[in-house]
Amino acid sequence: MRLQKFLSEAGVASRRGAEGLIHEGRVRVNEVTIEEQGVKVDPEEDRIRLDDRPIRLKEKIYLALNKPRGYVCSRARQQRERILHDLLPAEWRHLYSIGRLDRDSEGLIFLTNDGDLCLKISHPKYEVKKRYHIEIGRTVDDSVVQRLQEGVWDHGEWLKAERAWAVPPTGLKIELVEGRNREIRRMLAALGERVQQLRRDRIGSVRLGKLKSGEWRHLNRNEVRSFLNERAGDE
């Protein structure tokens, strides 16, 4: 197993973050400081340390959570803000979220200590679709749907929905593969529309379903394998 993969599976950081730790010379294997990428290790035989702290593989945890509005997707609290990890048992507060939903958005988000799953869901090349339900407070006409699918410019970025369709009376659905910062809100603002509610209801083949706001559940084995073993998308 490559060292950066070991560190991500141990819950230390994402794969990219682990590469940064190695580059900084903070990782030792059998008392030798490693500064190059791609070194292979044996998790059962090698002694691996980060900042002089022994690192071991942890049980992999996969959670689906229905994020309520008003919570921030961060493990670091700023002042009195509510963070996603307030909704989890204390022993799981080391998990990191896969992607983000902004403070005013709600819905399905995954938390894990598995760097492979994080990469497979978040990197655009794996084409994992995320679906959102948006309420804008008025009837959605065909021109809005068409513009979302054609794309719009906003602050030097080309923003485009993979798919969009109206949900009467005042809503629409949008599917994205590459979710940029506040992308849906920015697209709709560029078209003169104001988002009243934004909820993510699907990631790949996993649906929000009956999960209540603030509640979480474990992803089952088939759900996890759908992301790790094959390109995820529509069922």
Average pLDDT, the chain: 92
Residue 84 in contact with residue 72, Cβ under 8 Å? yes
Reading the block at residue 205, the tokens are 């083949």
Read off the pTM.
0.77
Share of the chain above pLDDT 90, in %: 77
Q: State the CB neighbour count (10 A cutoff) for residue 43.
A: 14
Model confidence at 231, pLDDT cuts 50, 70, 90, reads very low
Phi, psi of 175 (to 5 degrees): -110, 135
Interatomic CA distance for residues 9 and 167, integer angstroms: 40
Q: Is 166 exposed, middle or buried (0-12, 13-18, 19+ CB in 10 A)?
A: middle
Catalytic, 42? Answer no
Q: Length of the chain in residues, anyone?
A: 235
8 Å CB contact between 204 and 129 = yes
Q: From the candidates 46, 102, 116, 154, which is the catalytic residue?
A: 102
Q: Which of 9, 1, 45, 6 lies closest to 27 in space, CA to CA? A: 6
Beta bridge partners of 202: 131, 207
Region 133-146: mean pLDDT is 95
Q: pLDDT at residue 141 above 70?
A: yes
> Which pLDDT tens digit goes with each residue over 153-165?
999 999 999 999 9
Q: What is the pLDDT of residue 234?
A: 38
pLDDT digits (tens, 9 = 90+) for 90-124: 988 889 999 999 999 999 999 998 888 998 999 88
Q: Is residue 232 over pLDDT 80?
A: no
What's the pLDDT score for residue 10?
82
Structural domains of the chain in order of their starting residue, each with its CATH number: 3-54 (3.10.290.10), 62-125+205-228 (3.30.70.580), 129-203 (3.30.70.1560)
DSSP secondary structure code for residue 211 in this structure:
P
